[in-house]
Structure 1
Amino acid sequence: MAEWVNEYKGKLVSPEKAVSVVKSGDWIRYTFGVNTVPVLDKALALRIPELYDVQIHAGVSMRPHAIIDADPKGEHFTWNCTHMTGIDRKYFKMGRAYYMPTKYSEEPRYIKENSIVDVLMVQVAPMDKHGNFNLGPTISHYRACADVAKTIIVEVNEDMPIAHGGYGHYLHVSEVDYIVEGGHTGLPQVSSPNPTEVDEKIASYVLEELRDGDCLQLGIGRMPNALGKMIAQSSLKDLGVHTEMLVDSYVDMVEAGRITNRRKQRDPGRLVYTFAAGTQKLYDFIDNNPQCAGYPVDYTNDRLIACSIDNLVSINNAIEIDLTGQVCSESKGSRMISGAGGQLDFVDSAYNSKGGRSFLCFSSVYTDKEGNKHSRINPLLTLGAVVTDTRPTVQFVVTEYGKVCLKGNATWQRAEKLISIAHPDFREELIREAQKLGFWRQSNKR
């Protein structure tokens, strides 16, 4: 213990000293999810005038960043983002951000083979008696970053929960270059909006397909949150979890006795995830809880690992689908909304799991700022829309008007099924467009 304490003291520096290592042209792995670096961020912002062409590599922003406020025109720093939140979209509108297309399961490999990591800045929990800094809610790709980074700076957050893990969930003081004590900076609180009647209707269709012993992967948002609440109130037993993102609804299901993880072929008895974002309830649940296991994303999202778990059920949101089954879950036209993330990883893995099922869920329409309704089921994807899930990978599609399975279906069958769960106001128009495109047979049902 004394050895690690002495090494800690020798590496402890002020925020200003730590960020002094940053040079013009550097690539910095910065923040991801709730593991932000508010103290280092403020210190680095003060250096803006003297730095140029600094590349920030970040994603899933949960707090605004001082370096953006200090460089609003992007004359010194460039924000490169692997997955956008509302904060990142704001940077994009400012002309400050660029999207980095990512298949989330491959992120650690990108880091080791295709990226430059001059400086890694990461928030951690206080050092334990063995010299370890726990990564808390965000394991993700930080181990890969640490393996290749030229300089590692940790910002210690006294409020960080201690996350148990499989591997890759901590950094050792011996591999860290600088330590900055951030004090009590808290964690971003992320709460899902209350589910609407539409969300609850969609969730009810999915709930009908769930069975005792299923292993769940839920995305974030109102509909998955609604489903989590319904599962907690159901009679389902011995559910498991192998997911990318951990959210509050899992806590509800555990506390209701629905999740036990007993039937899993991998990590039995443990709730597996790669990063977590929610309210304090979630962070308290993770803290020093051996039932939870945080892994790097190339474990949680790896197809061979995930599909080796029987009855894996993947439930995710989508933005738009065309009549042949191409799904966009990351953009409105060419305007980025989020990112590919690991959706395709789990859509594919769930279908290839023994007894597994994949669901893509969305409301049939959305309303624009002028109050006009638009169908999310369209003849073709909006110009510029990104294909997140290709046609052959899509299994179940669910709206508030029902659920359909597209596997093994011809284009005319797909068009018929998707129109049947479109909003009634748009069905006749969709049939006419399907006829023009050659997706509609004369014998099709109306």
Structure 2
Amino acid sequence: MDPLKLYEQRVMPLKRALKRVKRGQRVFVGTACAEPLALVKGLMNRADELHDVELLHFVTLGRADFTESRFDRRFRHNALFIGPNTREAVTQARADYTPLFMHEVEELFALGYMHLDVALIQVSPPDKHGWVSLGIGVDVARSAAINADYVIAQVNRYMPRTMGNTYLPVSKIDAFVEHDEPLLEYRFPQTSEVGQKIAEEAAKLVRDGDTLHVGYGHLPNEILKHLEGKKDLGLHTEAITDNIIELVEKGVITCQKKTHFPGRAVCTFCVGSKKVYDFVDLNPNFLFLPSSQVYDPKEIAKNDNLTSIGSAMEVDLTGQVSSESEGMRFYSGIGGRLDFLRGAAMSKSGRPIIVLPSTTKDGTASRIVHKLAEGASIIATRGDVHYVVTEYGVAYLHGKSIRERTMALISIAHPRFRAELLEQAKEKAYVYPDQILIEANQHLYPEFMETTATLKDGSEVQIRPIKPTDEVLLQRFFYSHSEETVYNRYFRPVRAMPHASAQGMVNLDYDRKMALVATTGPIGAERIVGVGRYDREEERDLAEVAYTVHEDYAGQGLGTVLQSHLAEYALTKGIKGFWAISFGRNKSMLAVFAKLGKYTKTVIEPGVWKVEHYFDE
């Protein structure tokens, strides 16, 4: 039969179509902003005729009237991902939650383990060939439509026709209800200052040419606002949002560097405003695919440089992540967090990232914890996450020992909880029994001193204040020196830099004692190549300085760079000048010190000089 004639035969009034829904059936309802609102409303109007109808959603953003207590004997909501409008019902046991990996849902539908009696979906009008588009809601809806016993579609002229695996022939749909209405719109809530700071920190981890996954949630979505300076980003993600469209319009997201579906932004549904829906309409830059493909870690990993950014509720000191529940109270769902974390980890040069505020909203509890809350589910193991980001910075965990990752996570916890976390870590033997953390109770780290410097040979180094987590890096830096370098720095042969010595050199108050390091390599694979430090005198407003540069960087001006930035910082602390002890034969050290300007020289003993410079001279 001609598909358009078949379509005309299957168009029917709302009440007639919904008569197919019977007592005790399982009914799938389309996702998020693609929810067929007219069909859901019509079903609610039939509540008095129905009993124990299970409404299965991936995630709903509509009114969710069916979760109200007055419908308890009529409808039972079952969420594959708990949204804000169904959370209370799940908490009160008036609705269900089914934990699943999203790429596995299609198989459950197809094999009958999650049998669907009816599917309620929303589609565009059919084209001249008799195909309708699922538009902004492909996700698990396509599989539901293929596998349900009976399919009812709301035909809405406001639904865009999207490109990809979004089309169904009219022969696959049993009933069409024509009802035009604006699609549901959703705007993420305004992010707090803490959220904006987290976004700034996480954005530093995104490299030009990366392919992005941005998790469903307001915090990952906020990060998109901080990527305008990036170039040639790609996209393999769950939801298309307004912030993504803005990056496409500004030429930030081009997808030209993608290794899988190059030139195409891969997604599975939209959550946003009408602007988003208009933008994706017949837009070949966007490839809408089913969840079984978009969320499959093996499929995700085909993208080189896949950077996945997802949120969490808690992270313990060993790197275990909880995001599905608040203790025993289910909050969201498995969703795509672990799928994308593992896909990113398998991706060539991929980066799995978890972001979270350092504390709960009221500030009374830390989200970096010595142990997860009782009943909290582990969404990602110690081996899954590479980066954890709070408003206090980035902790790199991959390949790090329990001691290293514990210190890294404490360093990005809220300062109010760091001392307590350190004591708890000692009790669990995660760190040295004598481990110190000078800035534990306050955030002293001067982030404004972080910068990049170009050396004489054109290479770049990162300049930043030393951190307590640099202990191992500093030890490696020390053991890379020649005996001559060590002797010039310490005026005696020094064979070792044990923990007891090293931790005192990385735990500073950033006032009386300060050190800057020059590093190469990305976060997590950094290498210290230079250190400049000062120790302020008690009696005078002068500070003793010392510089050490790795032999590989000798003659490139790195000592001068460190000294310049160290002097700049010292002036902000009211320090009036620098002095240093040097061998007279150490021409490189003396040449660097001379860059400060006029200095005096005092011979302490034959061959050993004390040089002194006042900044105002």
CA gap of 1:112–1:307, structure 2 versus 1, over 3 A, is same
* 2:237 pairs with one of 237, 243, 249: 243
Q: Secondary structure at 2:142's aligned position in 1?
A: helix
Matched-pair contact (CA < 8 Å) for 2:304–2:350: yes
Q: Give deviations 1:172-230, integer Å, cap 9, x for gaps.
A: 1111111111222x122211223333222222222222222110111244433332122
- Measured after TM superposition, the shift of residue 445 of structure 1 is 4.1
Unaligned runs of 5+ in 1: none
Q: Secondary structure at 1:160's aligned position in 2?
A: coil
What percentage of aligned pairs have identical amino acids?
36
Question: Which amino acid is 2:324 matched to?
Answer: E
Higher mean C-alpha displacement, 48-57 vs 128-137 = 48-57
CA gap of 1:32–1:437, structure 2 versus 1, over 3 A, is same
Q: What RMSD over aligned residues (CA atoms) do the two structures have, in Å?
A: 1.7
Give 2:372's aligned residue: 381
Higher mean C-alpha displacement, 59-68 vs 240-249 = 59-68
- Measured after TM superposition, the shift of residue 307 of structure 1 is 0.7
Give 1:50's aligned residue: 49
CA distance in 1 between partners of 2:225 and 2:133 (Å): 30
Give 2:514's aligned residue: none
Question: Are 2:99 and 1:101 equivalent residues in the alignment?
Answer: yes
Matched-pair contact (CA < 8 Å) for 1:220–1:247: no
- Measured after TM superposition, the shift of residue 297 of structure 1 is 1.1
Superposition pairs of residues 242-391 of structure 1, within 5 angstroms: 242-368=236-362, 373-391=364-382
Matched-pair contact (CA < 8 Å) for 1:38–1:65: no
CA distance in 1 between partners of 2:390 and 2:316 (Å): 14
CA distance in 2 between partners of 1:27 and 1:281 (Å): 34
Q: Secondary structure at 2:86's aligned position in 1?
A: helix
Instruction: Pick 1 or 2: higher relative contact order, CA cutoff 8 A, min separation 6.
Output: 1
Matched-pair contact (CA < 8 Å) for 2:146–2:172: no
Question: Which amino acid is 2:261 matched to?
Answer: D
* 1:207 pairs with one of 203, 206, 226: 203
CA distance in 2 between partners of 1:381 and 1:73 (Å): 36
- Measured after TM superposition, the shift of residue 154 of structure 1 is 0.5
CA gap of 1:47–1:197, structure 2 versus 1, over 3 A, is closer
Question: Are 2:174 and 1:177 equivalent residues in the alignment?
Answer: yes
Normalised by the length of structure 2, the TM-score is 0.68
Q: Give deviations 1:88-131, integer Å, cap 9, x for gaps.
A: 11332453211100111211112222211111110111111111
Q: Secondary structure at 2:282's aligned position in 1?
A: coil
CA distance in 1 between partners of 2:355 and 2:148 (Å): 39
Normalised by the length of structure 1, the TM-score is 0.94
Q: Give deviations 1:388-435, integer Å, cap 9, x for gaps.
A: 111110110011111111112232222211111100000111112222
Question: Are 2:69 and 1:75 equivalent residues in the alignment?
Answer: no
CA distance in 2 between partners of 1:38 and 1:75 (Å): 22
Q: Secondary structure at 1:29's aligned position in 2?
A: strand
Q: Give deviations 1:307-336, integer Å, cap 9, x for gaps.
A: 111111001111111111111112111112
CA distance in 1 between partners of 2:58 and 2:296 (Å): 20
Give 1:17's aligned residue: 16
CA distance in 2 between partners of 1:66 and 1:43 (Å): 12
CA distance in 1 between partners of 2:277 and 2:435 (Å): 51
* 1:416 pairs with one of 377, 401, 407: 407
CA distance in 2 between partners of 1:199 and 1:280 (Å): 25
- Measured after TM superposition, the shift of residue 149 of structure 1 is 1.2
Give 1 or 2 for the bigger CA radius of gyration: 2
Matched-pair contact (CA < 8 Å) for 1:415–1:440: yes
CA distance in 2 between partners of 1:387 and 1:353 (Å): 22
CA distance in 1 between partners of 2:131 and 2:89 (Å): 34
How many residue pairs align between the two structures? 436
Matched-pair contact (CA < 8 Å) for 1:189–1:279: yes
